[in-house]
Chains A and B, each alone.
Chain A
Amino acid sequence: MTATEGSPERKRGKDKKDWEPRIVGFLCKWCSYAGADLAGTSRLQYPPNIRIVRVPCSGRVNPLFVLKCLVNGIDGVLVSGCHIGDCHYSEGNFYARRRFVILKRLLEYLGIDPRRFQMSWISASEGDKWARVVKELVEEIKQAGPNTEFRKGI
């Protein structure tokens, strides 16, 4: 299935004025996803640029997913898990942290704007933090501009 073809939202990189960043968030279902839910229940407003992919734990997120997003032209990727020490699976986010620190360095080495990939730790009770993180993230990605790093010559 190629659901992406012909979708009206795929107009990136053409007109800088209308450009809105597209961001993917990988959220662990125990803390960050629930925190995003709480932001909803508290009716906190944040920009609609983020699409959330629900995962059981930040440790589930394979670095390949992040790379795949960036290769596909997504402008920013966020991985968010429970606070360090509060992981539902006791140590999944430790693994995630270690993994993504390395990934971040690798991305930097590859010449990709480090702002495009970010991590955050948001608990189920931090709806406000979620809204804040998204707002800041969107701002930063806007500054970073459209992701063309993987599309040479366009």
Chain B
Amino acid sequence: MKWFISHDTLRSLFQETLEKDCGEKVSHCYQCGKCSAGCPISFQMDYLPNQIMRMVQLGMEDQVLSSRTIWLCASCLTCTVRCPREIDIAEIMDYLRRRAYKKQVIPLEETEIPLFNKIFLRNIELFGRLYEMGLIGMFNLLSGEFFKDFSCAPKMFLKRKIGIFPHRAKNIREIRDIFKRSGKLAHSKKDRLLHPKLLFLNLFRKFIGKIEKLK
């Protein structure tokens, strides 16, 4: 996993583009590591947040966008509030994820999160409010974990915590317009919300995993 970087990488405009697009100064980072020290999820990450900052500084776009870290960030903002250089690291992670969507580079291990996000948003686009049953059902179906959280379901129904039918918003047309125009302004196509490549990758991986388990 060690890289070799050449002057082409160092001279790439990755950092400049990022700073221009999301307004956060990655160049300010002096690698104190406070973000990594406080990150609750860093035990699962492949690179620590401070390493991501460094990789952005060095222009390593491919490595950053294909890292698991950017997907595992929970947006808890611990890093942002403590950064001594006043960099909004969580916002940079958001930006990197959005960029990864656009470029369609998603690490194999972390397909669930983008998948979930897309299903979530599609769900809202359809119903205006979150339809939990639909979300969970769809997610389980498309991620290949058909019976995930099945044990919780009866309890939830009994306590009437999950409705069976979705809410029907009257102003659904307006909501869809918002989605459409946001997409247009952000220059991302609507059909990318649920990309077949993603679905396929995910199902394929789950399938391989199951077979290996059987072995």
A and B in contact, CB less than 8 Å: no
